[in-house]
């Protein structure tokens, strides 16, 4: 998708479709109270073109509600699309992101390959603060996110992707902020889609080896240093936990290591990004039921999120060192597969009694976290589709977040306002850790039915040890079950933006 930025009046934009945003300014509530949709534009011609339909009461400017007008009088655009941001009190920059995605997804099935997105103009609605730079960034991100469809392997696939999006800012705004936001939005939107493309790949196409190749290719393109290791290296590093998961598969594991070393930065924190890269999770000997097992191709979404974030880091160049580790393996049942009751020795030296071979994510991450520390990471963040229990707890609305460090978590939390993603912090605690104590060894890899997301996090904490660490359980959000106006059903690319913001918060 080509993107352009234009500082111009909306009415003069020659385009197949001009998308203009609107919000419902009605604050009163009651049975007879009607919506008060207001266009976020000062352009007289645009306002005039939309006046009749806005006055009709047919359109309420609800979040992502669209209304199309053909051949709008007084505009150079062939079509005017009004996209709702919802009630004014709830409008944020993130509403703009979704509205941009909605506009792109409106265009795609209609064969409209080129469109313009009008950024909200300041001062139209008193009290509505939508800073132009962040809005430009969000609009571009939303456009990229909206453009993605998962139909890669359809033989009748019609490439309906949008060829070109022009972001239009009316001339009065801070142009430098808009330019910067626009440039960032391209990098971040493309990086999120990079992660989604990986998550979308089926297990037979994207083996651990192939995931390693894709990561290496991305690293080469963006100037990151990289190493892709396999079985020998796992043995050399004594990664008994990681290896135990891969031992039941014909596919060798991949230990993906990416490094971002900005010139001149020799002091300060070293961030360790660790991702779960299970390219397919059958459950192993503790095999999963057949229903929905096909979904377990997305069990590498945490790893993909880290790779997406690294791509954005490489291109946005924050002043902080970053190491990324993705532990990629296939969890399969086999004559050589690990069994319940087996005891594994992790890289850290801790021993793990395997209770359930389906609790494999924490095993690969345990060694990933230890390895990141051994490479010098001073602060850790991991992302994983780790537990069904997290989905039970938070549904598909919030992803789970855990941390052993208030300062690191505060930085993460602060970035959510920018990323627009939803994470909800869940507790940790010694009483939970008791649930994963083993009789025969140090730890059990499952803690029983109750508090499953927390005991999984406690397991990881035993490997993060004293290093400040954040754990993101994205099991419920990595795959979108129901399409939305602004994003297709399928891989979401969740956590890419939030991890990136966390990294940037450490930039010197
Ligand atoms: N990959 C799954 C978790 C998962 C569930 C991801 C649903 C996405 C959607 C993970 O490896 C797993 O199987 N976890 C088990 C742990 C249990 C055996 C302690 C689970 O959640 O059931
Ligand atoms: Mn599993
Ligand atoms: Zn898994």
pLDDT at 158: 78
362 as an active site residue: the answer is yes
Residue pair 253/328 in contact (Cβ under 8 Å)? The answer is: yes
Q: How many Å apart are CA 295 and CA 280, to the nearest integer?
A: 9
Q: Does the beta carbon of 473 sit less than 6 angstroms from any atom of ligand 1?
A: no
**Is the model's pLDDT at 154 over the cut of 80?**
yes
Q: How far is the CA of 322 from the centre of ligand 1 (A)?
A: 28
**Is the model's pLDDT at 171 over the cut of 80?**
no
Structure tokens, 41:
């534009």
pLDDT at 316: 98
Q: How many Å apart are CA 477 and CA 391, to the nearest integer?
A: 8
pLDDT at 12: 97
How do 270-281 and 321-331 pair as beta strands?
parallel
pLDDT at 159: 78
Task: Kindly state the helix (H) or strand (E) to which residue 442 belongs, with its residue range.
Answer: none
How would residue 198 be classed by pLDDT, with cut points 50, 70 and 90?
Answer: very high
**Is the model's pLDDT at 436 over the cut of 70?**
yes
pLDDT at 156: 84
Mutate to test the pocket of ligand 1, among 282, 300, 358 (most ligand atoms within 8 A of CB): 358
Q: How many Å apart are CA 418 and CA 138, to the nearest integer?
A: 9
Ligand 1, atom nearest to 283 Cα: 13
Q: Does the beta carbon of 359 sit less than 6 angstroms from any atom of ligand 1?
A: yes
Span 477-500, average pLDDT: 98
Q: How many Å apart are CA 505 and CA 498, to the nearest integer?
A: 11
Residue pair 268/320 in contact (Cβ under 8 Å)? The answer is: yes
Annotated active-site residue in 362, 444, 497, 504: 362
Name the residue with the closest Cα to ligand 1, atom 17.
359
**Is the model's pLDDT at 266 over the cut of 80?**
yes
Q: How many Å apart are CA 272 and CA 265, to the nearest integer?
A: 16
Q: How many Å apart are CA 87 and CA 44, to the nearest integer?
A: 23
Structure tokens, 60:
């309420």
pLDDT at 160: 83
Count of helices and strands (H, E) across the chain = 14, 20
pLDDT in tens, 34-69: 999 999 999 999 999 999 999 999 999 999 999 999
Q: How far is the CA of 299 from the centre of ligand 1 (A)?
A: 9
The residues, ordered by sequence, that sit 6+ positions from 190 with a Cβ below 8 Å of its Cβ are: 144, 311
pLDDT at 172: 65
Annotated active-site residue in 233, 259, 288, 422: 288
Number of residues that make up the chain: 508
Span 290-297, average pLDDT: 98
**Is the model's pLDDT at 440 over the cut of 70?**
yes
**Is the model's pLDDT at 157 over the cut of 90?**
no
Span 350-366, average pLDDT: 99
Residue pair 418/501 in contact (Cβ under 8 Å)? The answer is: yes
Q: Does the beta carbon of 385 sit less than 6 angstroms from any atom of ligand 1?
A: yes
Average pLDDT, the chain: 97
Closest to 423 measured CA to CA, from 392, 399, 445: 399
Q: State percent of the chain over pLDDT 70.
A: 99
Task: Kindly state the helix (H) or strand (E) to which residue 338 belongs, with its residue range.
Answer: none
Residue pair 281/298 in contact (Cβ under 8 Å)? The answer is: no
Q: Does the beta carbon of 418 sit less than 6 angstroms from any atom of ligand 1?
A: no
pLDDT at 229: 98
């Amino acid at each position: 998708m080509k993107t352009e930025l234009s500082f111009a009046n909306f009415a003069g934009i020659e385009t197949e479709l001009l998308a203009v945003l609107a919000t419902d300014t009605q604050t009163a509530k009651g049975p007879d109270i009607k919506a008060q949709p207001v266009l976020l534009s000062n352009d007289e011609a645009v306002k005039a073109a939309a006046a009749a339909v806005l006055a009709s009461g047919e359109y309420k400017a609800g979040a992502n509600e669209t209304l199309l007008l053909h051949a709008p009088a007084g505009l150079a655009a062939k079509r005017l699309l009004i996209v709702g941001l919802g009630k004014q009190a709830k409008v944020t920059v993130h509403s703009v992101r979704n509205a941009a995605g909605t506009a792109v997804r409106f265009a795609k099935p209609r064969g409209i390959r080129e469109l313009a997105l009008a950024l909200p103009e300041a001062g139209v609605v008193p009290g509505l603060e939508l800073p132009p730079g962040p809005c430009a960034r969000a609009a571009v991100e939303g456009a990229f996110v909206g453009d993605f469809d998962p139909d890669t392997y359809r033989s009748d696939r019609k490439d309906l992707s949008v060829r070109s999006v022009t972001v239009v800012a009316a001339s009065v705004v801070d142009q430098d902020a808009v330019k910067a936001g626009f440039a960032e939005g391209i990098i971040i939107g493309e990086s999120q889609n990079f992660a989604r493309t990986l998550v979308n790949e089926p297990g037979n196409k994207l083996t651990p080896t192939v995931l390693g190749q894709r990561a290496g290719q991305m690293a080469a393109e963006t100037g990151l240093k990289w190493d892709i290791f396999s079985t020998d290296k796992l043995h050399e590093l004594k990664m008994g936990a990681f290896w135990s998961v891969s031992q039941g598969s014909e596919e060798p594991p991949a230990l993906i290591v990416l490094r971002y070393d900005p010139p001149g930065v020799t002091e300060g924190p070293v961030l360790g990004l660790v991702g779960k890269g299970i390219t397919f999770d059958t459950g192993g000997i503790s095999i999963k039921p057949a229903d929905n097992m096909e979904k377990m191709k997305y069990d590498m979404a945490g790893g993909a999120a880290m790779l997406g974030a690294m791509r954005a880091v490489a291109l946005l160049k924050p002043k902080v060192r970053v190491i990324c580790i993705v532990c990629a393996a296939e969890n399969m049942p086999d004559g050589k597969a690990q069994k319940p009751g087996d005891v594994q020795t992790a890289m850290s030296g801790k021993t793990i009694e395997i209770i359930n071979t389906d609790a494999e994510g924490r095993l690969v991450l345990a060694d990933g976290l230890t390895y990141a520390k051994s490479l010098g990471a001073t602060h850790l963040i991991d992302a994983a589709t780790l537990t069904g229990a997290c989905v039970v707890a938070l549904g598909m609305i919030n992803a789970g977040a855990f941390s052993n460090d208030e300062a690191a978590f505060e930085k993460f939390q602060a970035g959510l306002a920018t990323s627009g993603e939803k994470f909800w912090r869940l507790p940790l605690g010694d009483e939970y850790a008791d649930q994963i104590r083993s009789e025969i060894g140090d730890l059990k890899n499952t803690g029983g039915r109750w508090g499953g997301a927390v005991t999984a996090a406690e397991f990881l904490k035993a490997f993060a040890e004293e290093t400040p660490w954040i754990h993101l359980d994205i099991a419920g959000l990595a795959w979108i079950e129901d399409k939305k106006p602004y994003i297709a059903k399928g891989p979401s690319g969740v956590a890419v933006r939030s991890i990136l913001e966390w990294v940037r918060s450490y930039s010197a």
